[in-house]
Structure 1
């Protein structure tokens, strides 16, 4: 069962879609008293909750078939959400993500101890920055994640867009207006420096044919996650997969690897809980 909803985040209204496990819809879930893990999906730069070639729709529906709730949403100024994208910079994206977490944890059948944040591209950087400051995030999944927000986004927009914003006070990129504050906020946040504050488990997935965000970032992220005193980190590097996992094979791989890793994590934690000393 899928519900189209609106989530308030300050003055913004974020369009979102909530997926209930296929084993039971909202009424069944509430009546049974069972609590489910939830995966919140954060899209990338100027993306939408649908994803390129419906990637996030496919992922959310797959997860719902395996007992997960999934919540995918549009950041302000994207998809069907209100306001302008990037007007509050990266800080605003983090705040919006936290408001979505607020909404998710207000759902009666959600297990607050099994909240998973999945981010793609810039959404991956937002996810780790959110998790670093919000202890309600228990698990991270990062697909083709940005590592250097300023450099990576300027690489996407082109240097002239940034220079025009600084020189003229705003610049146009694909019909959206970007002000200097947006680029300043990108430079302020460093995921590699913040990730050690997150103590949960992490899955990294990246494609070898990603021409937007280097696959090398996946290895750097894993190395730094491994240096934490707590939390595991696994990675999957998908041969010939591009930035949006656009081929049928890449889609199947990124979704199945994510689902299987989450299910294995669930099994491992249940087995450890069964042990007594």
Structure 2
């Protein structure tokens, strides 16, 4: 069951959908459910390219998870101007969504998972480093160097135009200097130590947007932490949005198995007493 929601974040209204776990006929809902919050990427939306997040949510709800998908301000059906803000606003919006989710009685606060794709992966890392309510992280082809990676997407001419006239157009979005300056201010790789939960990173070898090498860089940085595990999976011939059936099936299978395993481990540990 899909429940459309609107979440107020500052002066914006963020559009989203809360998807409930599938139930068999006559089955009653559990008191609490683990929740996956999905963060989309640069000028994306809660559907995902080629319905990536829709398919992910369907798989997760079939396996007993609540899923919350939302549009960042200025994207999808949310109000606002995406290009006039910055990474700090994306982090703040994500934390507001966590506020909303944490207020729901049916959410298991000990199993709140943040899943981010591309720039949404960087936002997920930066959010988790600031918010202890995020218990697990799933990163799909995550951005590691926001300024450099977005520059490569919109082009150096667009960056030069921002530097000279203060703004540029890219796919019907207007991006300001505030946006690009904020990209340069945040370095997700250096903030990994601020997060103590478990992490899964999945990347495809045919990704021409975000280098697959970032997967190894992130894992190395997460391994330097005092606590928390980090696993990685490389999908052969997977592109940036895992668009082929084979790579998408692999992505969703890997992610669901890992999320299930993290939950089982947490439940097993909860049976131990000292």
Equivalent-residue separation in structure 1 for 2:206 and 2:165 (angstroms)? 36
Deviation at 1:23, TM superposition (A): 2.3
Which residue does 1:186 correspond to in 2?
A: 183
In structure 2, which of residues 100, 110, 119 is the aligned counterpart of residue 113 of structure 1?
110
Cα shift at 1:276? 4.0
| Residue equivalent to 2:240 | 243
Distance in 2, Cα, partners of 1:24 & 1:244? 32
* Alignment match, 1:91: 88
Task: Please show how residues 162-177 of structure 1 align to structure 2 within 5 Å.
Answer: 162-177=159-174
CA apart distance, 1:158: 0.2
SS across alignment from 2:44:
coil
SS of equivalent to 1:133: coil
Aligned length, in residue pairs: 273
Residues 24/123 of structure 1: CA separation in 2 closer, same or farther (3 Å cut): farther
Q: 1:6 corresponds to which residue?
A: 6
**Distance in 2, Cα, partners of 1:263 & 1:119:** 18
Q: Give 1:126-137 correspondences, 5 Å limit.
A: 126-137=123-134
CA distance in 1 between partners of 2:158 and 2:101 (Å): 36
Gaps of 5+ in 2: none
Cα deviation digits, residues 199-232 of structure 1 (max 9, x gap):
0000000000000000000001001101100000
Contact 1:86–1:92, Cα closer than 8 Å, also in 2? no
Structure 1 residue 174: deviation in Å? Answer: 0.7
Is contact 2:121–2:141 with CA below 8 Å preserved after alignment?
yes
Query: C-alpha separation between the residues in 2 aligned to 1:75 and 1:28?
Result: 33
Give me the whole-angstrom Cα distance separating, in 1, the residues matched to 2:115 and 2:61: 15
CA distance in 2, matches of 1:193, 1:235: 18
Cα distance in 1 for partners of 2:161, 2:24 equals 52
> Which digits, 9 at most, give the CA deviation of each residue in 1:77-97, with x for residues without a partner?
111111111322000000000
SS of 2:234's equivalent in the other structure is: strand
User: Residue 240 and residue 37 in structure 1: after superposition, are their counterparts in 2 closer, same or farther (change >3 A)?
Assistant: same
Residue 266 of structure 1 aligns with which residue?
Answer: 263
Deviation at 1:106, TM superposition (A): 1.1
Q: Distance in 2 between matches of 1:86 and 1:229?
A: 37
Match of 2:19 in 1: 19
How far residue 273 of structure 1 moved from its aligned partner, in angstroms, is 2.3
Residues 25-36 of structure 1 mapped to structure 2, 5 A cutoff:
29=29, 32=30, 34-36=31-33
Deviations 1:81-139 (A, max 9, x none): 11111322000000000011011111110011111000000000000000001111110
Unpaired runs of 5+ in structure 1? none
Matched, 1:215 2:212: yes
Secondary structure at the aligned position of 2:82 is classed as coil
Q: 2:41 aligns with which of 40, 44, 59?
A: 44
CA distance in 2 between partners of 1:220 and 1:135 (Å): 23
Q: 1:86 and 1:136 mapped to 2: Cα distance?
A: 28
Shift of 1:24: 7.4
